[in-house]
Chain A
Amino acid sequence: MTDPADLSLPEAAAMLRSGTLTSRALTEAVLDRIAALNPRLHAFTHIAADALTQADRADAMLQAEDPGPLCGLPVAVKDLIDVAGQPATSGSRVLAGRIAEADAQAIARLRAQGAVLIGKVATYEFAMVGPDLTLPDPPARNPWNPAHITGGSSSGSAAAVAGGLIRLAIGTDTGGSIRSPAAYCGSVGLKPTYDRTSRAGAFPLSPSLDHTGPLAATVEEAALALDAMTESASWRPASSRIGQPITGLKIAYARDWFADDPQASPALIRAMDEAASTLSLLGAQIALVTLPDYAPYEAAASIILHAEALEEHRALIRDHAADYGRPTLQCLAFGAAIDTDDVAQARKAQTHLTAQMLQAMDGHDLILTATTLMPALPFSAFDGEKAVWTPMRTIPFNLTGQPALSLPAGFENGLPLGLQLVARKGDEDLLCMAGHAFERATDHSAHRPSL
């Protein structure tokens, strides 16, 4: 018999409704799995003392009503997002001992639908930079090779899902913080359209670029989670076209965005070309396109991010500078090099760049490009004083607000590689339809690390 901890969310949901599984049994299985594997991965930073009570409540809800597909299913939450009664430190000494008084708005939606908020998972400090080996919580480790980083900042979310500790974790994404750890760890990461999900109750990094969204074992599970988190019924459900054929779907293959960069690994380029070929065999129309130059997107987003981050932390820095991790404080200090005129220029560029991206999508439904340009680096690469930046292609879609999905696309030296699909705002259904079709046609997502 399958260990309940290995059931997909739809499988577990069906069993909960047929009476062949209870939320309590499922939650106990997940708690056992966490207890067995977390000492190696450091993905979870806190386990909810009331997890089984929540599960019992979900079992009772399922007897009385059906509040939604996530009822009774365990969910982990990045420690940047408030869950009532659970620690909420944003991975920092600055907020040590803080317990959230209320759920973040997106989490309140999940709780109302009967999800079991089983615990908190690691984050880079204030979602800013990492890994930092000097912080109280040890950094999460890559399930495929614990000597390697997970990427961040939703580091624990990605490690927990990819390591098989849980099927679903909620993260945040300001410049790629859902998608890049998903790519590095071999899970699915879905950054929704800006404002589709609430950011209220998540510690802000850069409010105009911040998004909350799911990391999950499969595209279908990510889509179901996003639908549960979505604020308004006016959005087309992300899961509504899962399983439909992708015949005729027009996909713009932005190969130059990664293949022309000398940092891109040859294995990544091969994996991306194979992905384009697979999508073509599935009936999609693939067109090689040249997207607008990447550099201005990264530049404008960096300026906005650093300016807003410094504003968010101004008061805390004044009173608690000594409590910050060194890399985070240094990174926040960068923002002192820019002023309001610089930000105004960056916002003006944002408007132009967003229009240009939409123009480049003319005649196409989706963009296909890489998430990161190489597999996860080893922790040893972060030993020195010098900042190490891992190249990725994610931040432009925080700037444009478009939804973007990262999913497994292959391996290099035993470490996962990720591809990224991008849609127009509100087209998460197309994104998930294509991602699911790709996932079903390949075995990249079926591989699991041997822990």
Chain B
Amino acid sequence: MKSDFTEADFRARLTELGLTLDAKAFAAAWAGAQHLRGEVAKVQTYLTKPE
């Protein structure tokens, strides 16, 4: 997945899943998605430099 994963990308992925969220639910899901992208970055950093 491209590193600059955007809100529009996320919306498109949810549409592919057939998932429509109201504004509040989307905001919460997007916050979680960003957190998860942060976890992806942590794994990439770890693999670049394993302890």
Chain A residues in the interface with B (C-beta under 8 A):
292-293, 295-296, 298-300, 302-303, 306, 310, 314, 317-318, 321, 326, 329-331, 333-339, 341-342, 345-346, 348-349, 352-353, 356, 385-387
Q: Answer whether A295 and B31 are a contact pair too, CB < 8 Å, given A333-B19, A336-B13, A352-B47.
A: no
Q: Is the CB of A342 within 8 A of B19?
A: no
Q: 10 nearest interchain CB pairs? A: A337-B33, A336-B13, A299-B39, A333-B29, A299-B42, A334-B32, A296-B46, A339-B1, A318-B18, A330-B29
By the criterion of a CB under 8 Å from any partner CB, how many residues of chain B are at the interface? 33
Question: Given A349-B43, A349-B46, 18 other A-B contacts at CB below 8 A?
Answer: A296-B43, A300-B39, A303-B36, A303-B39, A317-B19, A331-B32, A333-B32, A336-B13, A336-B33, A337-B10, A337-B37, A338-B1, A338-B36, A342-B40, A346-B43, A352-B47, A356-B50, A386-B28
Q: How far is the CA of A284 from the CA of B50 in the complex (A)?
A: 32
Cα distance A303–B47 when bound, in Å?
14
Residues of chain A within 8 A of B46, CB atoms compared: 296, 299-300, 349, 352-353
Q: Flag if B51 contacts A345 (CB, 8 Å).
A: no
Interface residues of B (CB under 8 A from A): 1, 5, 10, 13-14, 16-21, 24-25, 27-29, 31-40, 42-44, 46-47, 50-51
Contact in complex: B47, A349 (CB < 8 Å): yes
Tell me, in angstroms, the Cα distance from A24 to B21 when the chains sit together.
Answer: 50
Q: With both chains docked as a complex, state the minimum distance between the C-beta of B47 and any C-beta of chain A, in angstroms.
A: 6
State A234–B27 Cα separation when bound (angstroms).
Answer: 49
Chain B residue contacts of A341, Cβ below 8 A: 1
B contact residues around A331 at 8 Å (CB): 32
A339–B3 CA distance with the chains assembled, in angstroms: 11
Q: Which residues of B contact A299 (CB under 8 A)?
A: 38-40, 42-43, 46
Q: Kindly list chain A residues whose C-beta atoms are within 8 Å of the C-beta of B31.
A: 387
Partner of B40, one of A298, A333, A338: A338
**Assembly CA distance A299 to B44 (angstroms):** 10
Q: How far is the CA of A356 from the CA of B5 in the complex (A)?
A: 31
Query: Given the complex, which residues of A lie within 8 Å of B39, measured CB to CB?
Result: 298-300, 302-303
- Tell me how far the C-beta of B29 lies from the nearest C-beta in chain A, rounded to whole angstroms: 4
- Which of B21, B27, B37, B42 lies in contact with A329, CB distance below 8 A? B21
Q: Which residues of chain A are within 8 angstroms of B34 by Cβ–Cβ distance? A: 337
**Contact (Cβ within 8 A) A334 B40:** no
Inter-chain contacts of A353 with B (CB < 8 A): 46
Find A333's partner among B1, B14, B37 (CB 8 Å cutoff): B14
B30 to chain A, nearest CB (A): 9
In the complex formed, the residue of B with least CB distance to A303 is: B39
Q: Which residues of B contact A292 (CB under 8 A)?
A: 51
A337 adjacent to B43 (CB under 8 Å): no
